[in-house]
Amino acid sequence: MRRTIAVSASCLALLVATGCTSTSGTDSAPEPDECTPVTSTDLNTEDGWLGLIGQAPESVSLLVDDGSGRTVEHRAEEQQPLASAVKVVHLGAYARAVAAGELDPDEQVPLLDWERWYVPGTDGGAHPAALERLGIANDGTSATDLAGTVRLDDIVSAMIQESDNAAPDYLRYRLGDDALTRAAAAGGWENFQAPTLVTQTLSLFDPALGDGDTWATAERWAFDQQFRVDVSAGLEVPSYDQQVDGVQERSAQGSAAELAGFYRAIADGSFGDGGDVALRQLEHRPAPDGAAGIGFKGGNLPGVLTQAFELRRDDGTVATAVWLIDSLPADRYEVALAGIGNQQTLIVDALRSPSGFDRIACAV
């Protein structure tokens, strides 16, 4: 099945790999004395992203904590769609299972076991990109030899680096819902509801598939070939507005505060056993100057962009930032995807320097 919808693909600009021009600051800085109003609406510029906070305040949930006593918040407790940012909880559950000896990162997993949780053509190319990076033969959509194997740890890396959508449901199947809720709680996230990316994706095409037991639907997709064939034959791409409505109604949700707290727990060690395993996956890019590591997981769905970062400084302090946006109209959404690097620059600068923090603080 090939569809034209792009669901929960991760976006990370190279700025994290190369570092930013600002220098890290660890001393608590005073509140900005003067703030110049930001009026730009151009998301191809940094000012345009700052302007979005004031222009569409009900669409933004934001929390930045510089780790030195300063935080800036906007609707930080409000629930919003998380897109692929939710996958950090699956990572946490995997990490705890590895630490407990319940999973072996070097386990050779049949490719069929991974790909049965894949809805082809709906992830913006994330799955085939992961296959390419891992050196797995593929036809541009799926692996060509499903009898082959792949390391379990590499499947998890595909979930974080390319934002593969099959990996989180595979991990949920392996670990169970309780493992996900316990991992979320270890990061301070209470009442977490385990999502299914398979059913979330399918229900954007056919809302009826999102009714009832969503996990049962995901398992039918994974193990019932006739169901898979029948569903694939009947799916039609809905309008953009219909997709946005579907995301709001049926996708995994959380708050900036919950997601930021989870990142902080992993970065500062309070997550407990497995935190080092999670950091190894999250911090797969080189750290900028003055930092021991930087980790990121973001995502997008129709109308939705999500960004979550942690920065561990050489002095032991930890900075975190989460910026959630939803309900973007079609034209703004496409521009936002193209200009996502500007938003990420703002976030990383805010984590690394008082002046960068002030820019966001002034916009809230």
The DSSP-derived string for 258-302 is: HHHHHHHHHHHSTT-TTHHHHHHHHT-SPPPTTEEEEEE--EEET
**Are 192 and 230 within one domain?**
yes
In a domain, 1, yes or no: no
Among 232, 250, 268, the domain-final residue is 250
What angle, 0 to 180 degrees and rounded to 10, lies between the N-to-C axes of helices 214-223 and 197-205?
A: 90
Reply yes or no on whether the pLDDT at 45 is more than 90.
yes
**Are 35 and 139 within one domain?**
no
The reported pTM is 0.92
> Number of structural domains, the chain?
2
**Are 287 and 231 within one domain?**
no
**Are 229 and 300 within one domain?**
no
Which residue has better confidence, 261 or 12? 261
**Are 284 and 225 within one domain?**
no
**Are 132 and 151 within one domain?**
yes
**Are 71 and 112 within one domain?**
no
Tell me the mean pLDDT in the region 316-324: 98
In a domain, 8, yes or no: no
- Give the model's pLDDT for residue 23: 33
Q: Which two tokens stand for residue 302?
A: 């129709």
Range of the domain at 73: 15-83+253-363
Q: Which residues pair with 360 in a beta bridge?
A: none
In a domain, 343, yes or no: yes
- Give the model's pLDDT for residue 32: 73
**Are 167 and 302 within one domain?**
no
- Give the model's pLDDT for residue 2: 36
In a domain, 116, yes or no: yes
**Are 234 and 275 within one domain?**
no
**Are 77 and 33 within one domain?**
yes
